[in-house]
Chain A
Amino acid sequence: MVYDDKFPIAAQLFIRLKRSPGRVIDVTWMLENEMYALEVLRVARAADAESAELANRYEALLRTRPGKAAAPAAPAQGGAMFARTGAFVAGGAAPAASEEAVAPEVGRHYVGALR
């Protein structure tokens, strides 16, 4: 349930951050890796007010997960976690493809339209 609620916010963050300040995030990895998510939220808060509001909503959902209080934001590990343009650049191991997760372009497609 929490996963379902987090996805639309992550998808919106993907769109907003790509538009400005031009950063591309990995929504799938964001849903799976809390440390990465917190780093995304840090960047979102620095971007603009609406992105910050989305970051707050996402963090609130992180806190509701049983036994998983949000940890303080951690610095990016092993190199950049974002790229100015292009695809996600992993600092460590690349996130494994998950059948359960929804690819960012799929989520973006269903914002305000079905077809």
Chain B
Amino acid sequence: MSNRTAFSRLMSLALIALASPAHAQPTTVGFDQISAGDTAWMLTSTALVLLMTIPGLALFYAGMVRKKNVLATALQSFCICALITVLWVFVGYSLAFTPGTPWIGSLDRLLLEGMLYIKETSQLTVSHIAPTIPESVFVMFQLTFAIITPALITGAFAERMRFGSLMVFMALWSLLVYVPVAHWVWEPGGWLASLGALDFAGGTVVHINAGAAGLVCAWMLGPRAGYGKDAFLPYNLALTMVGASLLWVGWFGFNAGSAVASDGRAGMAMLATQVATATAVLVWITVEWMTRSRVTMLGACSGAVAGLVAITPASGFVNVGGALVIGLVAGIACFWGATGLKRLLRADDSLDVFGIHGVGGLVGALLTGLLADKNIGGVTGNIGIQAIGAFGTLLYSAAVSFVILLALRYTIGLRVSTDEERSGLDLSLHSEQII
């Protein structure tokens, strides 16, 4: 598809958006219509993706902050998990995964209205997006993505944000940013899906989205006291390694689960994920050795996450060769993102959320446009459309995040006091401490 065609389709979508929104209730089917294999794999994938946030991401981040902020950092991921779960069943799922308009879904499914499981008649409902598994499983699977995305952002403002402000920000961000973007990309009627943007498992919805928000958070909250002058020693990089390993394993649910089926494409996605991740680890530590004469644990973990992020949008579209290329580029680009680019941006993005998730997401989204193999996904990519999706999401996420943070700054405040920051958030906010 040419870029001119993409533009004309974009204009058409804008007109469609003005028309009356569509409404859709889930389809009720008999138990015999459900695939046991698909359902078993999606239940497993859901558990794997939840494992990525708690305890995966919680440990990954907690190991990198100073000792006085370890508990507060892990607590953030834990509480976001609870908060987003409630929001998701109330309104998030309905707005993200019902047809509605190209920009946002409908409110027809508030509190999961219409979702059925009737043992007596052997009937249950399925989503139009995942017709072979129970809707309850699809709701849960998508919920785990909605949980990890805001949890990723916490790394950008680690060690300095007020807990109450964080919870309010995450609630608003989830509803105003994550939910619409998920609708744009993954609901078949969403404007990016209609354009033909490819995002198999969330390179745009999860990683570019979180990376952009993280960068804006880092700017808006300002640097930590002593940033650039004092050495901020990570508490325990062994925790970070355990967290990164949980992320790596959990990512098989993230990517291969996004096939929403227990089939060969899920297998290809899993293989591509492993190959790209391993390649990115090797590339990152090579670059590290070439530039610093050292290979570090944090570098290896960072390379793994970079590879995982970059292969995410491509995992169900590329072959093994494509995965190797993506891992190679991601290892170099994300190393630069977490070092050179970080210095250029002059933001205290504490745990390099933009440097790894933002940059890795952009690399993956754009390379999917170049490397998508028609034999695997049934489609070929278009780098122009991929760029529209990636940069459109980046700009939208950054802009809305900025507005939310601005509103919070002038109402309940964003940062802890200097004394609280010096004492550490564990003690000053939560009255707990690692001895």
Q: Is the CB of B299 within 8 A of A115?
A: yes
With an 8 Å Cβ cutoff, the count of chain B residues facing the other chain is 23
Complex CA gap A4/B230 in Å reads: 11
Chain A CB within 8 A of B384 CB: no
Chain A CB within 8 A of B302 CB: yes
Point out the residue from A11, A109, A114 that lies within 8 Å of B351, measured CB to CB: A114
Q: Is the CB of A111 within 8 A of B299?
A: no
Complex CA gap A7/B231 in Å reads: 8
Q: Is the CB of A8 within 8 A of B338?
A: no
Residues 95-115 of A at the B interface (beta carbon under 8 Å): 102, 106-115
1/0 contact string of B325-354 vs chain A (CB within 8 Å): 000000000010011001100000011100
Q: Is the CB of A12 within 8 A of B229?
A: yes
Residues 334-387 of B at the A interface (beta carbon under 8 Å): 335, 338-339, 342-343, 350-352, 355
Chain A residue with minimal CB distance to B339? A115
Chain A nearest CB from B149 CB (Å) reads 21
Q: Is the CB of A115 within 8 A of B226?
A: no
Q: Is the CB of A102 within 8 A of B233?
A: yes
Contacts of A12 in B (CB 8 A): 229-231
Q: Is the CB of B350 within 8 A of A111?
A: no
Chain A CB within 8 A of B298 CB: yes
Q: Is the CB of A114 within 8 A of B64?
A: yes
Chain B nearest CB from A94 CB (Å) reads 24
Chain B residue with minimal CB distance to A109? B231
Chain B residue with minimal CB distance to A27? B231
Point out the residue from A9, A107, A112, A115 that lies within 8 Å of B233, measured CB to CB: A107
Complex CA gap A4/B422 in Å reads: 12
Point out the residue from A102, A112, A115 that lies within 8 Å of B227, measured CB to CB: A112
Contacts of A110 in B (CB 8 A): 231-234
Contacts of B339 in A (CB 8 A): 113, 115
Complex CA gap A114/B298 in Å reads: 9
Complex CA gap A8/B338 in Å reads: 22
**Given the contacts A7-B233, A102-B233, A107-B233, A112 and B228 also touching, CB distance less than 8 Å:** yes
Chain B nearest CB from A71 CB (Å) reads 26
Complex CA gap A108/B229 in Å reads: 10
Contacts of B233 in A (CB 8 A): 7, 102, 106-107, 110
Chain A nearest CB from B165 CB (Å) reads 23
Chain A residue with minimal CB distance to B292? A109
Complex CA gap A1/B251 in Å reads: 39
Q: Is the CB of A115 within 8 A of B352?
A: yes
Q: Is the CB of A11 within 8 A of B231?
A: yes
Q: Which residue, of A7, A11, A110, A112, has the highest number of chain B Cβ atoms within 10 A?
A: A112
Contacts of A106 in B (CB 8 A): 233
Chain B residue with minimal CB distance to A50? B229
Q: Which residue, of B226, B231, B302, B355, has the highest number of chain A Cβ atoms within 10 A?
A: B231
Residues 190-217 of B at the A interface (beta carbon under 8 Å): none
Q: Is the CB of B299 within 8 A of A108?
A: no
Question: Measuring CB to CB, which residues of chain A are less than 8 angstroms from any residue of chain B?
Answer: 4, 7-9, 11-12, 102, 106-115
Enumerate the 9 nearest inter-chain pairs by beta-carbon distance, A residue then B residue, closest first: A8-B230, A112-B228, A107-B231, A110-B231, A115-B338, A11-B231, A8-B231, A111-B231, A110-B232
Given contacts A114-B298, A114-B351, 10 further A-B pairs with CB under 8 A are A8-B226, A8-B231, A110-B234, A111-B229, A111-B230, A111-B231, A111-B232, A113-B343, A114-B64, A115-B298
Q: List 18 A-B contacts (CB under 8 A).
A: A8-B226, A8-B229, A8-B230, A12-B230, A108-B231, A111-B230, A112-B228, A112-B229, A113-B339, A113-B342, A114-B232, A114-B234, A114-B351, A115-B298, A115-B335, A115-B338, A115-B352, A115-B355
Question: Measuring CB to CB, which residues of chain B are less than 8 angstroms from any residue of chain A?
Answer: 64, 67, 226-234, 298-299, 302, 335, 338-339, 342-343, 350-352, 355
